Amino acid sequence: MNLHEFQSKSILMEKGVSVPRGLVVYDALEALVAARSLKADKIVLKAQAHSGGRGKAGGIAVMSIDDDVRSEAGRILKMNLVTNQTGPQGKPVSALLVEEAPQIDEELYLGVVLDRNDGHVTVMASPAGGMDIETIAKEAPEKIYLVKVNPLRGLCPFQSRGLAYKLASKNLIANQIAKAVTALYEIFVSYDCTLAEINPLVVSGEKVLALDAKINLDDHALFRRPEMAGLRDRSQEDPVELSARQAGLSYIKLDGDIGCMVNGAGLAMATLDLISIHGGAPANFLDVGGGASEQVVADAMNILLDDIRVKVVFINIFGGILRCDVLARGVIRAIKERGLQLPVIARIEGTNIELGRKLFADSGLQIEMIPSLDEAAELVVVKAKELSAS
Amino acid sequence: MAILVNRESRVICQGITGRNGTFHSIACRDYGANMVGGVTPGKKGAFVDGIPVFNTVEEAVLETGANVSLIFIPAAHAKDPILEAVDAGIKVIVCITEGIPPLDTASALYTVKQKGGVLIGPNTPGIISPTEKCKVGIMPGYIHTPGPVGVISRSGTLTYEVVDQLTKAGMGQSTCLGLGGDPVVGLSFVDCLKMFKDDPKTEAVVLIGEIGGSAEEQASEYIKKEFCKPVVAYVAGKLAPPGKRMGHAGAIISGGAGTAQGKIEALTKAGVTVVENLTKVGQTVRDILL
């Protein structure tokens, strides 16, 4: 679950990290009033959407209070923000953060991640803030300083200080950076984050401020923080992906016209690859999970049939825990409830396969059963092409 | 021979009285595994289809000499049983549970490594050594057959698919194991390749990777330098859009790293036979070994 910048900053403030003075608003007039109340020479309007690269996409404006703040705020609030991270469909702007624009003497980077290679929480710091960490890693890897945290000891004060002294020589500044490092680490661990980042952390005169922040929470640990559920912004998520997740399915929208239902994440990815090898384009990734019930299978089938882009449905199941008869019952139920307008091709293998085949045969539904996965994928692609040609 | 589990393994199941624990403990025993006990706090003295249940792992180890544990405990509580197993001296811990908070896995794994244990998973189908008639996991046993091919995978059903092809192509397996679909897991491809290198019964290895992380790239480095047996690989997720978790928590392209294409290139450069069409893996292995 991703948080907006203003939500991330409010968590940082609770932990004692300074951020620029600012207010969150939801309409243009409110933005003007907020900007005036800040009594700053320069202000910045920042689109709140779950994406980086907002500046380049036109979602951030630095203005003087004499400029037309109201119409600029209105423009940003109405935007559909298309960045290099959102894909062509973009993201709506959920709110506007109106902040004072502080003087910037230096831009630093602080980030905390869990290193999947060694299982250690890793704190990253760099004097080359302002650009993303992947760019720093590519262009100036020597400017990234890392601390690997021993899970039994946690981050020690000397480690925070060590990083701070690499970024600043003045004690006054270094002390504030060390405090920010400790705070960011504590947030990462106590909120079970996948990422906690301040970029840039700016030196502004004698102060150190978090100019931008990104805190992403791990969905698997949200049970420990039920109070965070209220911070989820559903407008930033694809509605079909969201309802699929509520049904216990893992669904990702893609650009093509072949609807896919598969069990298991790896096999689901491989099925997409196979469709592409045969020249087709899948409409989605859909993993019904290892132990799906009849209901979950029916829900999955409905998601595919609801998608107007889908021309052919491809079911690829290797039943392990998921039994083929359960699968067949779920599919048949969904189709019988709504009728079938699309061709369905199924390749089914594994536990209780005979029973599954029999259920499909007895159902009287036009479902083509192809035992060979490769041939099934090929046929699906041919059918999809025929239908888009006609 | 095989790796990690064999005929001598003495297996317990933590969470044996739950629905999945009961079903799979019996299925593992049916396959030939030596299921010596189970653990559910408060259920000491009970039996699951003849398998004795204990209150603690320590007790189970004392009474049965167990050295392998299969864990079916809900994600929110799964860190504790991993630590309990390693403290009781269990050397091979197979954690099936999906969705454990990664920080819990990371901290448990630190202790497992310190004590010289091995954690398979979490979010794994487990491990099976057909040559040794030992299955510690949830995979359908009947698709496997004994033989010379080692299989290492980051996915469950995708492994079944490949194993089924291998069996139908007459290529049996020495040991098949799933590393797990989570971002942090106990074993890497390199760890397993090292074990397969020393296993005389394994003549070739099939490596099934997917997007996310850099385990395949690290395997490529190792294979180039030190691994002489033939390796066939498949990497899933060429069509995965960046920034999306493809079903597995660990299957995500982040910051442009961890793409299928990058992994395929690295493996190819290391001399690995990379198969682009999933359905050709079995035949490719057969062509190489026969």
Q: Which residues of A44-59 are buried (b: 16+ CB within 10 A; e: fewer)?
A: bbbbbbbbbebeebeb
Residue B3 scores a pLDDT above 80: yes
* CATH number assigned to the domain with residue range B139-289, chosen from the 4 options 3.40.50.261, 3.30.830.10, 3.40.50.10800, 3.40.50.300: 3.40.50.261
Residue A202, SS3 per DSSP: strand
Q: Which residue, among A332, A322, A325, has the nearest Cα to A264 in the 3D structure?
A: A322
Contact A300, A316 (CB under 8 A): no
The CATH number given to whatever domain includes residue A287 is 3.40.50.261
Q: Report the catalytic residues of A.
A: 109, 197
Residue B219 touches chain A, beta carbons under 8 Å: no
Smallest CA–CA distance from A217 into chain B, residue: B101
B276: burial class by Cβ within 10 Å (0-12, 13-18, 19+)?
middle
| DSSP type of residue A230 | G
**Token reading at A124:** 């990253």
| DSSP category for residue A104 | -
pLDDT in the model for residue A390: 76
How far is B202 from A134, CA to CA, in rounded Å?
39
B11-120 and B139-289 in the same fold: yes
Domain check: are A213 and A246 in the same one?
Answer: no
What 3-state DSSP class applies to A212? coil
Residues of B designated catalytic: 248
Q: Which of B158, B214, B278 sits opposite A264 (nearest CB)?
A: B158
Domains of chain B, residue spans: 11-120, 139-289
So what's the pLDDT on residue A238? 87
Q: Do A287 and B247 touch (CB under 8 A)?
A: yes
Q: Does the distance separating the beta carbons of A192 and B103 come in below 8 Å?
A: yes
Task: Test A221 with B103 for CB contact under 8 angstroms.
Answer: yes
Q: Which domain holds residue A60?
A: 21-101
Is A263 within 8 Å of B157 when comparing Cβ atoms? yes
- Give me the number of domains chain A comprises: 3
Residue A160: count of CB within 10 angstroms of its CB: 23
**Residue A263 and residue A291: Cα distance in Å, rounded?**
9
Phi then psi for A197, rounded to 5 degrees? -140, 135
Burial B50-76 (b: 16+ CB within 10 A, else e): ebbbbeebbebbeebebbbbbbbbebe
CA angle A95, A97, A100 (to 5 degrees): 165
Q: Work out the minimum CA distance from A263 to partner chain B, whole angstroms.
A: 7
Q: What is residue B260's predicted lDDT score, i.e. its pLDDT?
A: 95
Dihedral sign of CA atoms B174, B180, B183, B185 in order: negative
Residues A260 and A353 in one domain: yes
Clarify whether residues A161 and A216 are in a common domain: yes
A8, A142: one domain: yes
With an 8 Å Cβ cutoff, are A134 and B240 in contact?
no
* pLDDT tens digits for range B100-145: 999 999 999 999 999 999 999 999 999 999 999 999 999 999 999 9
Q: Which of A196, A218, A237 is the last residue of a domain?
A: A237
Write the pLDDT tens digit of every residue in A356-388: 999 999 998 889 999 999 999 999 999 999 998
Q: For residue range B141-196, list pLDDT tens digits in order.
A: 999 999 999 999 999 899 999 999 999 999 999 999 999 999 999 999 999 999 99
The residue-averaged pLDDT of A117-142 equals 92
Mind listing the pLDDT tens digit for each residue in A157-175?
999 999 999 999 999 999 9
Put simply, the answer to whether B164 touches A321 (Cβ < 8 Å) is: no
CB < 8 Å to A148, chain B: none
Question: 3-state DSSP call for residue A213?
Answer: strand
What one-letter code names the amino acid at B226? E
With beta carbons less than 8 A apart as the criterion, state whether A377 and A383 touch. Answer: no
Entry field: residues in chain A: 390
A188 touches A112 (CB < 8 A):
yes
Name the average pLDDT for chain B: 95
Q: What is the dihedral of CA A90, A266, A311, A250, to 10 degrees?
A: -50
In a shared domain, residues A174 and A251: no
B160, B183, B246: residue with CB nearest A265:
B246
Q: Is B155 on the interface with A (CB under 8 A)?
A: yes
Lowest mean pLDDT among A2-11, B214-223, B236-245, B279-288: B236-245
Are both A97 and A198 inside the same structural domain? no
Last residue of a domain, one of A178, A213, A237: A237
Interface-testing mutation among B97, B135, B153, B157, with chain A (most A C-beta atoms within 10 A): B157
Give the pLDDT of residue B31.
97
Same domain assignment for residues A137 and A229: yes
pLDDT value for A17: 98
Q: What's the pLDDT at B264? A: 96
Q: Which of B103, B152, B277 is best to mutate for the A interface (most A CBs within 10 A)?
A: B103
CB contact under 8 A, A265 and B248: yes
| Alpha carbon distance B134, B146 (integer Å) | 11
Looking at the partner chain, which of B109, B156, B213 has a beta carbon nearest the beta carbon of A320? B156
Query: Pairing relation of β-strands B231-236 and B204-210?
Result: parallel
Do A188 and A277 share a structural domain? Answer: no
Please say if the pLDDT value at position A275 is more than 80.
yes
Amino acid, single-letter form, for residue A52? G
> Which residues from chain A sit within 8 angstroms of residue B160, using beta carbons?
318, 320, 350
**B268 shares contact with chain A (CB less than 8 Å):** no
Q: Do A269 and A205 sit in the same domain of this protein?
A: no
**Tokens standing for B113?**
């490594």
Domain end (from A203, A219, A237) = A237
Count CA atoms within 13 Å of residue B157 on its CB side.
Answer: 29
Contact call for residues A305 and A365 (beta carbons, < 8 A): no
Secondary structure string (H, E, C) spanning chain B: CCCCCCCCCCEEEECCCCHHHHHHHHHHHHHCCCEEEEECCCCCCCEECCEEEECCHHHHHHHHCCCEEEECCCHHHCHHHHHHHHHCCCCEEEECCCCCCHHHHHHHHHHHHHCCCEEECCCCCEEEEHHHCEEEECCCHHHCCEEEEEEEECCCHHHHHHHHHHHHCCCCEEEEEECCCCCCCCCCHHHHHHHHHCCCCCCEEEEEEECCCCHHHHHHHHHHHHCCCCEEEEEECCCCCCCCCCCCCCCCCECCECCHHHHHHHHHHCCCEECCCHHHHHHHHHHHHC
Class of CATH domain B11-120: alpha beta
Classify residue A312 by burial, with Cβ atoms within 10 Å: 0-12, 13-18, 19+: buried
The partner residue sitting opposite A273, judged by closest CB among B157, B236, B247, is B236
User: Which one of A134, A251, A261, A267 makes the best mutation probe of the B interface by having the most chain B beta carbons within 10 Å?
Assistant: A267
CATH code of the domain covering residue A81:
3.30.1490.20
Residues A294 and A326 occupy one common structural domain: yes
pLDDT at position A350 over 90: no
The DSSP symbol for A220 reads G
Q: What is residue A138's predicted lDDT score, i.e. its pLDDT?
A: 87
The pLDDT value given to residue A312: 96
Residue A12's pLDDT is what? 98
Report the distance separating Cα B188 and Cα B123, nearest Å.
14
Instruction: Report how far apart, in Å, the C-alpha atoms of A209 and of each of A16, A188, A201, B61, B136 are.
Output: 11, 19, 6, 55, 53
Q: How many CB pairs under 8 A join A and B?
A: 171
Question: Residue type for B203, please?
Answer: E
Question: What average pLDDT does range A306-319 have in this prediction?
Answer: 94
Which residue, among A258, A278, A283, has the nearest Cα to B278 in the 3D structure? A278
CATH number for position A188: 3.30.470.20
Considering the domain architecture, whether residues A122 and A175 belong to the same structural domain is answered as yes
CB-nearest partner of A252 from B111, B139, B246: B246
CB atoms within 10 A of CB A193: 27
Shared-domain flag, residues A251 and A377: yes
